[in-house]
Structure formats: structure tokens, C-alpha cells
Amino acid sequence: MTTQIRNEVLLEGIPSSQPEWSHENHGTQFYRFFLQVPRLSGTPDTLPVLLPEALLPQVQNQALRVQGQLRSFNNRSGVGSRLVLTVYAQTLTPGTGELCNHIALSGSLCKAPIFRRTPLGRSICDVMLAVPRRYGRADYLPVIAWGQLAAQVSRLRVGDPLSLEGRIQSRIYQKVTDTGTQERTAYEVSIMRLAACSDAAGA
């Protein structure tokens, strides 16, 4: 079965930092800033956004709607996680005033699912989804499922295709290092709906 390729992100939020230069690639300068995306609970997700220089004039201290993809990069700095996630902006437009944090992904599992229960007994399942890019590359994206969705996803195997819709969330955690405890931020995709699943999910 051929794995469908889909990586679509739509966010709306307010920039919480000024764009800073990130890197150059094939003659294009790229910049990075953070976008505060409100949650219904009131606590916003603060998400990194990467954009080409041509989109810089669109970043003002006002609501923005960002359309793009969720990308992963290897962190070679030796600080933090080796896998760095960022939203790659393809278009920026003024905000509409509506809450929006939506992602649609299609790829295949590159690690076995990890199923567990929280101290309160709620089911949770972590998977790593490989979403192919052009030129033979792929983005490796951590995905989390809860409740009945966790039970479904836990039955998948490495290589099985998975299509989903969800939201991108940020999570602060404490990392113990040789120099003490550091506060770090993790990013992951929380599944809201399975768009398609392999036959293994119904086995």
C-alpha cells in the first residue's frame, strides 16, 4: 500500500517575539519567531515559526494566520532534543479573530507505538510519524493520542500508514543535566481525529 503524503498546517495567533535570523539555504535567508496560539482552556501554545525573508514584512505585532507545514530538523548544537520541530510558513495573512490550530498529516509509523496510562487511568499512546518530503527527505513528527484513539493507534505496527487531523501543542518539562535542572519545551501533534488508518487498527 502506498503511503499518502500530506502535511498541512493552519494557525492563528499573535507573535510573541521579533523574527531573528535562522540560516541561509540555497541563497534564501530564513528567519524564526514564536507565535502564541490560544487554547480554549485559556493557556496558549507558543510555537516556533520559520519563514523566508520575503514574508518578513507580514510579521507585525498583531494577529497572524499562518499556512504551511510542520517540519523537523536535526539539532547539531548539542543543546536540547536532537529533533527540532518548527512550523514552516508558506503564506502569512492578517488574523481573522477566530481560534485556529489545525494540522493534517499522512505518513507512516517509523517506531513502534508506546501505550501507557496516566496516574488517573487515562489511556495515552505516543508514535513517531514519518511524513515524506520532496527529494527523498522526510519529517519525523511526534504524535500523541488519548482515550479511544490511543487504543486504536496502539495496534499499529512500524511501516503502517496513518492519516490524522489534530493540533500542534507545546509542553514545558524539566530536564536534569550534568549542570542541574533545565526548563525545556517539547512540541508534539495531538490527534483529534483519525482520517484513515491501516487495516491493523481494526485487527
Residues 68 and 134 in one domain: no
Residue pair 157/186 in contact by the 8 Å Cβ criterion: no
CB environment 71-81: b (16+ within 10 A), e (fewer):
bbbeeeeeeee
Domain boundary, last residue among 57, 74, 99: 99
Residue 133 lies in a domain: yes
Query: What local confidence, expressed as pLDDT, does residue 199 receive?
Result: 40
SS3 readout for 80-148? CCCEEEEEEEEEEEECCCCCEEEEEEEEEECCCCEEEECCCCCEEEEEEEEEECHHHCEEEEEEEEEHH
Tell whether the torsion through CA atoms of 30, 188, 34 and 56 is positive or negative.
Answer: positive
Q: Do residue 122 and residue 162 come from a single domain?
A: yes
Query: Hey, what amino acid is at 91?
Result: T
Q: Is residue 1 part of a domain?
A: no
**Cα angle 188-189-195, degrees, rounded to a multiple of 5:** 160
**Structural domain ending residue among the three candidates 99, 122, 152:** 99
Whether the CB-CB separation of 164 and 194 falls below 8 Å is answered with yes
- Strand-pair partners of 54: none
The secondary element (H helix, E strand) that includes residue 149 is: helix 147-154
| Cα 10 from Cα 64, distance rounded (Å) | 10
Same domain, residue pair 131 and 61? no
Which CATH number does the domain housing residue 41 bear? 2.40.50.140
Q: pTM (2 decimals)?
A: 0.88
- Domain identity same for 92 and 115: no
Regarding whether 108 and 81 lie in a shared domain, the answer is no
The residue among 72, 99, 126 that closes a domain is 99
pLDDT of residue 198: 43
User: Which residue in this structure is represented by grid cell 498541512?
Assistant: 8
> pLDDT tens digits for the chain (203 residues)?
445 679 999 999 999 999 999 999 899 999 999 999 999 888 899 999 999 999 999 998 899 999 999 999 876 655 555 788 999 999 999 999 998 999 999 999 999 999 999 999 999 999 999 999 887 889 999 999 999 999 999 999 999 999 999 999 998 888 887 888 888 889 999 999 998 544 433 33
Do both 17 and 39 map to the same domain? yes
Using an 8 Å Cβ cutoff, are 45 and 101 in contact?
yes
Q: Which domain holds residue 29?
A: 6-99
Q: Which pLDDT belongs to residue 200?
A: 38
65 & 134 share domain: no
Residue 61 buriedness (CB in 10 A; 0-12 / 13-18 / 19+): exposed
Residue 50 in domain: yes
In the chain, how long is the greatest CA-to-CA distance? 52
Residue 35, Cβ density class (10 Å: 0-12 exposed, 13-18 middle, ≥19 buried) = buried
Are 112 and 45 contained in the same domain?
no
